[in-house]
Amino acid sequence: MRDLRTLGPWLRRFLADYIVTERRLARNTQMSYRDSFTLLLPFISTKIRKSADRLNVEDITPALILQFLAHLEESRSCSVQTRNQRLTAIRSFARFVASRDPAHLAWCAQIRAITTKKAAPQPVSWMSRDEMEALVTVPDRQTLRGRAEHALLLFLYNTGARVSEATRLEVGDLQISRRGDNHALVTLHGKGNKIRQCPLWARTEDTLGELIQGRETCEPVFLSRHRKRYTRFGVYRLVERCAAQVPSLAARPITPHVIRHTCACHLLQAGVDLNTIRAWLGHVSLETTNIYAEIDLEMKAKAMALCSAAAPRPERPWKENKGVMAFLNAI
């Protein structure tokens, strides 16, 4: 780069070379960082009245970043988690610039001094078995589109897969119609290009087998009504549309991640240990999976509160009346 002050070349190197080639981060990470700067640059341009192509690195000041973060929460109604995610992208970019040009070390230190906000943990939302079954059966399986939607919902419930894992799934990732006692398996490509295998129920195997009949191994498993690979937005819209048709779910925000939580909670209720659930969902740390154990403890506490055996019993009298009239009254 000839001009080390211009922001554009730095961003190109950061998003196209550093993220992809050097760090080998996931495609979703690259897109998330891109979205952060897609929002940040127009905001700064408006504030300092300077086009985005003419912005310098030093134009991204701590004061403007704080204003941008406040804008995200107040004007765009973003959550604290989203605010922190955008800040993480900016701080990562600042660290990249300073590592290549020591002249920006002081600027980088000021940017990285901006702290993240402490966010209250979000309650884990999940569905009961009846609610999940009702959601899965909403699509009309008499039509090709309905069968594809039913298969996608059933697959999400069976595997607890992330949306990105489901949309990336190809026919070659499925191992179905295996002979003997071998379970059907699916290979999922998760975060950070981590690969894991997950067993499939018999009904999931049958549903997917019908769906992919006649397709090549390199073709996507789930196709939208336009016969193209499902997008993230398409999966979210499908889940929201089906949930709106279930009376008990209509007023609740149901997303594909709620289905992921539901899968984990039902596995826990079935007696599956936490470490197996961690591997099932593709969590790196067991601490991430522990949230489902806390849910289970809450369910046990509620069950104990409703249990009649836990209710206080009346004190027994010192002497019981064993007369015939007491016997008759007790019947």
Domains of the chain listed by start with CATH number: 7-112 (1.10.150), 129-306 (1.10.443.10)
Instruction: Quote the pLDDT of residue 153.
Output: 97
Query: How far apart (Å, rounded) are the C-alpha atoms in residues 201 and 139?
Result: 19
Contact 20, 73 (CB under 8 A): no
- What are the beta bridge partners of residue 258? none
Reported residue count of the chain is 331
Within 10 angstroms of residue 178's Cβ, the number of other Cβ atoms is: 11
Beta bridge mates, 229: 223
Per-residue pLDDT of the chain (331 residues; tens, 9 = 90+): 456 789 999 999 999 999 988 988 888 889 999 999 999 999 999 999 999 999 999 999 999 999 999 999 999 999 999 999 999 999 999 999 999 999 999 999 999 999 999 987 777 889 999 999 999 999 999 999 999 999 999 999 999 999 999 999 999 999 987 766 678 999 999 887 789 999 999 999 999 999 999 899 999 999 998 889 999 999 999 999 999 999 999 999 999 999 999 999 999 888 888 899 999 999 888 888 888 877 766 666 665 565 554 455 555 555 555 676 676 677 6
Q: What are phi and psi of 146, to 5 degrees?
A: -65, -40
Assess contact for 133 and 189: CB atoms under 8 A.
no
**Active site residue ranges:** 162, 191, 257, 260, 283, 292
Interacting residues of 100 by C-beta distance below 8 A, sequence separation 6+:
13
pTM of the shown model: 0.74
Q: Quote the tokens at residue 55.
A: 């912005």
Q: What is the dihedral sign for C-alpha 44, 46, 52, 58?
A: negative
